[in-house]
Structure 1
Amino acid sequence: MKQSILFSKNDTLQIKGIGILLIVLHNFFHWVQPSTGENEFFFDILFFKNYATLLIDYPEQFVNLSFSFFGHYGVQLFIFISGYGLSTSYSIKTSTYFAFIKHRLLKVYPPFLIGVFVLCLYTFFLNKKVLSIQWGLSIIYKLLSIHIFLPEEALSINGPWWFFGLIIHFYFIFIPLQRLINRYGISGFLGINFSAYLLIFLLLEPLLEHKIYVMANVIGHLPEFTLGIFIASRKVISIRKSWFFIALITFSLGNIFFVFYPFTFLSIIIIFLFLFQYRGSILNWMKALIEFFGDYSLFIFVLHGFFRNIFIPLTIEKSILEVIGFALAYLFFVTILSVVCQKIYNYLKTIL
């Protein structure tokens, strides 16, 4: 049996909505005890052992343990849908390379700068501090998108912001990647990713010794990004059940054995795409809610990181239901703030 993929605007909003919910709740539960750790930027079998052991000992903690261990894969949904979305929009209205880069940067940087401004207000009014010189330098590194190349800078200040460097670098290499895949098809896609996986295995551990994460750079996530481009280039692609089961096995092994670890990120996309075909069983109101989160996902992503510090201390020595309640309160607070910031941003665009 095969399932066909062709994403509508609502589909992409749903994917973004699912992705941002996974990311926000992961970044919350990641700091709530008991914590599992996760195979995100590097591999450690201890993380899976933590998850399995804690789940057996505390089955009632299933929600927070699962978001803690698996939630970071929401990032892969954004990487994939970025490759897909860029490819479909660029094919509709072709522009020059520099016009494309300018257009994309103007979409990303204003919300990011608003996030920096909100962070300054948060630090001053809630922490009674002003930004230090080191923080200022770290913000500059992030604005220049070089933080993911520097030791200990990828996750500095506000951990989730590491993603901005990644996506901006993808913008710069998108057009060459798309042209390769459009010209050579599956051979181009496989060739790019063979090179990517080779570099991952060669560089991951040596750079980790210098506290630089390959899995925070474009090399680490070329497979997910180029899969989006490849699917867009084919217009319709079929997902076999056999691919789903191979991806499921690879994903499972990748959280146990290092040799499979780099393939977990692409595997989770294959798993998601197969399951996404059955989304029609989701209630309509849930679809609308997920699309709402997808619509505001950029500002939610920009703002959610530092505000978790308000809610996480409230979870100490609380029941699991209370912890989940604080997580939902945190999500609600960040969402409202994001809606307000996006409305202000949209208004400023009309008068500037």
Structure 2
Amino acid sequence: MKITQEMSLRMRGVAIILICLHNLLHLDSYVMECEFAFMDYRVHRLTRCFSFTSGTSVEFFFSFFGWYGVPLFMFMSGYGLATKYERPGVGLQVWPFLKRHFVKLWLLMAPAYLLFLVAEGWMNDYTPDIPTLISQLTLTHNFWDAEGIRPGVYWYFGLTMQFYIWYLLFYYLRSEKVLWTAFAVTLAVGEYFALSAPDSPTHFLLRHNSLLWLPVFLMGIWMSRHADHQLLRWMMRFRWVLAPVVTLLWVYTSVHVSIWVLSPLLAVILLLLLCGGNGRSRLFGYIGGISAGVFVCHPILRVFARPLIQQGYDKFWVCLVYTMACLFMAALYMRFVNRKLMSR
């Protein structure tokens, strides 16, 4: 199964809407997610909320499950790297590779980060200290103080740079044994911490760095290398039969600690099934095309949207206006970033 450009854009579009609304709605008054550690009390609260018919059920869904859009981008990073650099006749030079990807991430993140600091400073009197500022702008914040990353979604930039380094050192043109060994070991480490030390600082730090997210990244590499695999062709042929089954499995793994580490993998498989085939969705395709801009811009607009929800304004209209504003700002922002990248 080859992921076409149209399919990739649709998947990115769905994923970024999940992330965008999740980061607006995961407030203390809502059901918080289990992204970096499995918390039983959060699952129990989610169960209670969905036990009653309520207009807030959709909001609780985005608050608890919306973060599953993030693994999709991790998967696409692995898929994209293998597709681009493992073709016959395509070489990879270490320094140009690292420089190119660092500059792309930095040009995408840095201007938006400065805009966020202005907005956050104005609304909440936030001023980062010098070490925090330097570590964010050098994409190294994950290593030192993962909990202090602000805005929180920007942890993804440091993690992505780590993925590029991992790929270069260990996975570029390496054998399947290396891939599957790393996959199994990282799943086992994640399972150990999820069951025995979910609240430990070590687990929290590992979940904010690349190690415990490697299975999703490696799945992307494997799928790129085996696009014609019979299993993948069979999966897409029966995708509408499999989609409800995978949905149930995904939800089940999301709320059971013993198999929680599998939930990001199932979330990606579900998106592949839902966005696969030859169907067209211009809306999600367009959103996917500016998804990077939405990712970096939505924390800026969230600074202004969250107080409106906390003050009791209608949540539907706040979410709608916030989403439309994110798309508009992202479209303008990506025009600026693309000009900078093309001028290099």
Q: TM-score, normalised by structure 2?
A: 0.86
Partner Cα separation in structure 1 for residue 227 and residue 216 of structure 2: 17
The answer to whether the aligner puts 1:340 opposite 2:332 as a matched pair is: yes
- Residue 230 of structure 1, CA deviation: 0.3
**8 Å CA contact 1:17, 1:293 repeated in 2:** yes
Does the aligned pair in 1 maintain the 2:119–2:303 contact within 8 Å? no
Q: What residue is the counterpart of 1:91 in the other structure? A: 86
- Asked if 2 retains the 8 angstrom alpha-carbon contact of 1:16 and 1:293, the reply is yes
Tell me the residue number matched to 1:162: 155
Shift of 1:208: 4.1
Is it true that 1:330 corresponds to 2:301 in the alignment?
no
Q: Which AA in structure 1 matches 2:210? A: V
Q: Which runs of 5+ in 2 are unaligned?
A: none
Q: 1:294 to 1:249 in 2, by over 3 A?
A: closer
For 1:306-325, list aligned pairs within 5 A. Answer: 306-316=300-310, 318=312, 322-325=314-317
Q: CA deviation at 1:206?
A: 5.0
Of 153-162 and 14-23, deviating more is 153-162
- Residues 1:190 and 2:180 are matched in the alignment: yes
Alpha-carbon spacing, 1:338–1:82, altered in 2? closer, same or farther (3 Å): same
Offset of residue 246 of structure 1: 7.5
Structure 1 Cα separation of the partners of residues 11 and 289 of structure 2? 10
1:269 deviation in Å?
1.6
For the Cα contact (< 8 Å) 1:250–1:267, is it kept in 2? yes
Kept in 2: contact 1:207–1:213 (CA 8 A): no
Q: Relative to structure 1, is the Cα distance of residues 32 and 336 closer, same or farther in structure 2, using a 3 angstrom cutoff?
A: farther
Give the secondary-structure state (helix, strand or coil) at the position aligned to 1:60.
coil
Identify which of 295, 304, 307 aligns with 1:301: 295
Match of 2:171 in 1: 178
Which position in structure 1 is the counterpart of 2:40?
A: 45
Q: 1:248 to 1:44 in 2, by over 3 A?
A: same
Alpha-carbon distance in 2 for matches of 1:184, 1:296: 35
Note the 1:233-244 alignment, pairs <5 A. 233-237=225-229, 238-239=231-232, 240=235
Cα distance between partner residues in 1 of 2:260 and 2:48: 20
Partners of 2:44 and 2:18 lie apart in 1 by 21
Match of residue 30, structure 1, among 26, 31, 38: 26
Provide the alpha-carbon RMSD of the alignment: 2.7
CA distance in 1, matches of 2:214, 2:245: 20
Contact 2:120–2:303 (Cα < 8 Å) also in 1: no
Deviation at 1:170, TM superposition (A): 0.1
1:260 aligns to what? 259
Partner SS state of residue 86, structure 2: helix
Say whether 1:71 aligns with 2:66: yes
User: Cα offset for 1:266?
Assistant: 1.3
Q: How far apart, in 2, do the equivalents of 1:309 and 1:275 lie?
A: 32
Q: Percent identity at matched positions?
A: 21
Q: Is the 8 A contact 2:38 2:198 kept in 1?
A: no
Residue pair 1:83, 1:225 contacting (<8 A) in 2 also:
yes
Query: Which residue of 2 is the match for residue 273 of structure 1?
Result: 272
Residue range with higher mean Cα deviation, 81-90 or 141-150: 141-150
TM-score by length of 1: 0.84
**Structure 1 letter corresponding to 2:296:** V
Once residues 134 and 324 of structure 2 are traced to their aligned partners in structure 1, the CA distance between those partners, rounded to angstroms, is 30
Q: How far did 1:19 drift?
A: 1.2
Give the CA deviation at 1:154. Answer: 3.9
Q: Is the deviation greater in 194-203 or in 76-85? A: 194-203
| In 1, Cα distance between equivalents of 2:10 and 2:287 | 8
**C-alpha offsets along residues 51-73 of structure 1, whole Å, 9 cap, x if unaligned?**
22112234322221111111100
Query: Residues 188 and 156 of structure 1: is their aligned pair in 2 closer, same or farther, counting only changes over 3 Å?
Result: closer
State the partner residue of 2:14: 18
Counterpart position of 1:115 = 112
Task: Give the 3-state SS of the residue equivalent to 1:213 in structure 2.
Answer: helix
Q: How many residues align?
A: 333
Task: Report Cα offsets for 1:183-233 as digits up to 9, x if no partner.
Answer: 533x44321111112222345665843373322221111111001000101
The 3 A distance-change label for structure 1 pair 155 and 41 is farther
1:245, distance to aligned residue in structure 2 (A): 7.7
> Greater shift after overlay, 333-342 or 211-220?
211-220
| Whole-angstrom CA distance in 2 between matches of 1:347 and 1:337 | 16
Give the Cα separation in 1 of the matches to 2:301 and 2:115: 10
Is the partner of 1:94 in helix, strand or coil? coil
Matches of 1:193 and 1:264, distance apart in 2: 15
Q: Secondary structure at the match of 2:201?
A: coil
Shift of 1:349: 4.5
Structure 1 residues 29 and 58, CA, compared in 2 at 3 Å: closer, same or farther? farther
Cα distance in 2 for partners of 1:122, 1:195 equals 42
Alpha-carbon separation, structure 1, partners of 2:330 and 2:243: 35
What does the per-residue CA deviation read over 1:136-155, in whole Å, with 9 as the maximum and x for residues that have no partner? 3222222333322334x345
2:54 corresponds, among 52, 59, 66, to 59
One-letter code of the match for 1:334? Answer: C
